[in-house]
Structure formats: C-alpha cells, structure tokens
Amino acid sequence: MPRYRLTVEYDGRPFSGWQRQAHAPSVQETLERAGAALNGGEAVEVIGAGRTDAGVHALAQVAHLDLVREMRADKLRDAMNAHLRPDPVAVLDAQAVGDDFHARFSATRRSYLYRIVARRADLTLDVGRAWRVPMKLNHEKMQEAAQALVGKHDFSTFRDAQCQADSPVKTLSEIEVIRLGSEIEVRCAAPSFLHRQVRSIVGSLVEVGRGREPVRWMGEILAAADRSLCGPVAPAEGLYLTRVDYPDQ
C-alpha cells in the first residue's frame, strides 16, 4: 500500500486534541474521515508526529497514512482538503514516502511556540489563539531563567500527572523567550516532550516574568523534580506545534 506524508495545519479549538476519542471530535478522526473518502470508503489510520492536547494548534504537524491505490501527491493534498472542509484543518503538503517512514517514530525533533499577549485590554483577533496576561512581563528575566532547562534533565517538575512516558528524563535542545511589542513568544525544541511539559514550563516562566519568583527559581524547581513546585500550567490556547524534523531534513 502506498504511504504518504502529510504536513497539516489546524486550529485546535473545536477538537478534543489530536488523538481519536470515543465521544468527542479529534483532529486524527477528522483526517481519517477525509482519507477514507479517498480510499473507496475503506478505513484509514492517520498517525501523527505528536499528540497535541485539546485546544492546542498546529502550524506544521506531520502525519502519515496508507491508501489502497497510488495518487499524485498534489492531488491527494487537494482531495483531502476538499473533504476536510469546513473543519479548521488543512493539508499544506503531501509527499509519497517509503514504508519505513513513520510520522512519530522517525521524527528527530519537535518544535513548539507559545504565544503570550501581555496587555490589559481583552483579546479580539487572538481570542483562543494566545494567552492574555494582563500585566507587564520581564521577558529578559524569563529568557535568563529558561536557560537552566536546556540540556538533559529529569523534568518531573514539569510533567503532567497523567503523562504516560516511560521516563521523565528529556533533552531540551533549546528554549528562547523573545518580545514582539506586547507579545512574548516562548520557542522551544526537543527530540520529544512530556505531556504538558511546554505549558508547565511557560506557566512557571510567567511567574518569573511577573516578579513573583527570582530567576534562579526555575533551576531550583527543576532540580527538585517535584511536580508540586511547578507554577500554574499555561492554557492550551497559546500553544502551537510549529515544526517536526526528520533525518532527511
């Protein structure tokens, strides 16, 4: 069966997350429904590079699916999009790949963006797409504090209680906090992440940015490996999966 690699963009607000759910809409199920329409009605399994939570968005999620017949990649992209409308999911690109490609297990690095808008006024255009924090944040202190997390560590402090990963040890390749006007972006990359790790990190960094905790606090709670010391978890609406890397890139 021919295999295709998809690059997918979606607005996470209407969905229970990436993963198929029994009684709630998911991005995976939405893509599988479109894929089955191209597969003569035969069921299709769509495997994603990462299982984003409810409300989390993607600018470039990667997935793969197998079909019973070959299609030109650009026709597959367009046909998938025709069947995806009006759901807020779009296939940006499709490529034919070998059977050895696996969207999840072949991935070498995943990158995320978290958007914070630090202002008193309510959001209008970015409702559901960013976290409004109604006060000034010191992004320079947030950036300094974040560097304590770079490298291989036990991230138990930033691990959700329901995380199913075998180990809390992960390697954070990089993290950067930058300001763009009233918006603060937290960008991070790693081979893989724990459940809600990014949102837990961002929520704690905001405590530093607000002046509630000193810069050294991030390193201290990381070393403690104690979930109870984590700051408030940032809401899902500000998080975006922005890139997935593979050995051929």
Q: Which residues does the annotation mark as catalytic?
A: 53
**Gap between the Cα atoms of 103 and 10, Å rounded:** 17
SS3 184: strand
| Residue for token pair 């202002």 | 119
Q: Positive or negative CA dihedral for 64, 94, 27, 86?
A: negative
> Minimal CA–CA distance to 153: which of 131, 169, 164, 132?
169
The token duo for 44 is 């299709």
> Minimal CA–CA distance to 34: which of 86, 80, 3, 76?
80
The alpha helices in 67-216, defined as continuous H runs, are: 73-84, 139-146, 197-209
